[in-house]
């Protein structure tokens, strides 16, 4: 069950589902966003990064120690449980009852993940780092697309 929840959460934060979210799942998503602080959302982003760092394509440049991985897992699990079983419990129960657990959790946490990613990419340091790409873009080739 725990592995399934982690997989659903990982999918929720990575992909948008084609399943239709109902009113109660929308309510749950709003509750998740409204009930998290910027620090909570950064914990979510950190967990996403730690999980993605295990991918072979980036593992050599994104070293995460077992201790850091465990800390990120614990922090996100605490947040996940607080949101679903305390802060947003009523909304979670209604969403799960009407849309099903996988859809409700996946879609509501996808919204939270999008908000967290927006926080991440609005950082001046991240924005500055992203401008480095401009040095290697062929602007003439892009102009030819018009």
Whether 1 shows a pLDDT value over 60: the answer reads no
For residues 120 and 73, give the distance between their C-alpha atoms in angstroms, rounded to a whole number.
19
The position carrying tokens 């990120």 is: 72
For residues 121 and 92, give the distance between their C-alpha atoms in angstroms, rounded to a whole number.
28
For residues 9 and 113, give the distance between their C-alpha atoms in angstroms, rounded to a whole number.
10
Q: Which of 7, 36, 37 is nearest to 105 (CA)?
A: 7
Q: Confidence class of residue 17 from pLDDT cuts 50, 70 and 90?
A: very low
Helices (H) then strands (E): counts for the chain: 8, 0
Domain ranges of the chain: 2-143
Q: Are 83 and 93 in contact (CB under 8 A)?
A: no
For residues 95 and 90, give the distance between their C-alpha atoms in angstroms, rounded to a whole number.
9
The position carrying tokens 């897992």 is: 73
The pLDDT score that the predictor gives to residue 29 is 97
The pLDDT score that the predictor gives to residue 19 is 52
> Residues near 93 by Cβ (< 8 Å), separated by ≥ 6?
none
The pair of three-digit structure tokens given for residue 19, joined into one six-digit string:
């399943």
The pair of three-digit structure tokens given for residue 76, joined into one six-digit string:
């996100």
Does the pTM of the predicted model rise above 0.95?
no
Whether 10 shows a pLDDT value over 80: the answer reads no
The pair of three-digit structure tokens given for residue 49, joined into one six-digit string:
């990064």
Arithmetic mean of pLDDT, 113-136? 91
The pLDDT score that the predictor gives to residue 83 is 98
């Amino acid at each position: 069950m725990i592995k399934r929840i982690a997989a659903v959460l990982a999918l929720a934060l990575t992909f948008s589902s084609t399943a239709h979210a109902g009113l109660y799942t929308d309510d749950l998503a709003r509750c998740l966003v409204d009930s998290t602080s910027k620090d909570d959302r950064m914990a979510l982003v950190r967990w996403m990064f730690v999980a993605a760092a295990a991918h072979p394509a980036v593992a050599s440049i994104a070293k995460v120690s077992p201790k850091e991985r465990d800390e990120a897992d614990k922090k996100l699990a605490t947040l996940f449980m607080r949101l679903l079983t305390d802060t947003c419990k009523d909304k979670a129960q209604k969403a799960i009852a009407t849309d099903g657990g996988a859809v409700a959790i996946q879609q509501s946490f996808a919204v939270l993940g999008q908000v967290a990613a927006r926080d991440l990419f609005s950082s001046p340091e991240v924005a500055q780092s992203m401008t480095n790409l401009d040095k290697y873009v062929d602007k003439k080739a892009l102009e030819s697309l018009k």
